[in-house]
Structure 1
Amino acid sequence: MCPLHIQACELIDGVFGTVGSKLFWTYNLEGEKKISKQIIEAIDEGKKVITFKEFEGDLVDKYDKWKATLHIEQKGEIDLVCWTMEYERPNENAPELINLLDFIIGMTKAIDDHHVKMN
Structure 2
Amino acid sequence: MSPAKVQAIHLLEGEWGKPGCTICWNFCIDGAPKVAKEVIEDIDNTKLSTTFKVIEGDLMEAYKSFKVIVQATPKGHGSVVHWTLIFEKLNENIPAPTAFLDNAVDFTKDINAHLTQAKA
Q: TM-score, normalised to structure 1's length?
A: 0.92
Question: CA shift at 1:36, angstroms?
Answer: 0.3
Query: Match for residue 76 of structure 1?
Result: 76
- For 2:72 and 2:31, locate their aligned partners in 1 and report how far apart those are by CA, in whole Å: 30
Query: Match for residue 53 of structure 2?
Result: 53
Q: Secondary structure at the match of 1:66?
A: strand
Query: Match for residue 115 of structure 2?
Result: 115
Question: CA shift at 1:19, angstroms?
Answer: 0.3
Query: Match for residue 16 of structure 2?
Result: 16
Query: Match for residue 90 of structure 1?
Result: 90
Q: Runs of 4 or more off by more than 2 Å in structure 1?
A: 75-78
Contact (CA 8 Å) 2:65, 2:89: kept in 1 or not? no
Question: CA shift at 1:77, angstroms?
Answer: 2.4
Query: Match for residue 42 of structure 2?
Result: 42
Across the two proteins, how many residue pairs are aligned to each other? 116
Contact (CA 8 Å) 2:34, 2:58: kept in 1 or not? yes
1:106 aligns with 2:78: no
- For 2:52 and 2:74, locate their aligned partners in 1 and report how far apart those are by CA, in whole Å: 21
Percent identity (aligned):
34
In structure 2, stretches of 5+ residues that fail to align are none
Q: Secondary structure at the match of 1:108?
A: helix
Question: CA shift at 1:27, angstroms?
Answer: 1.2
In structure 1, stretches of 5+ residues that fail to align are none
Please list the CA deviations of residues 25-82 of structure 1 after superposition, one character each: whole Å capped at 9, or x if unmatched: 1112222211000000000112211000000001112111100001111133241111
Using the TM superposition, name which of 68-77 and 47-56 deviates more.
Answer: 68-77
Root mean square deviation of aligned Cα: 1.1
Q: TM-score, normalised to structure 2's length?
A: 0.91
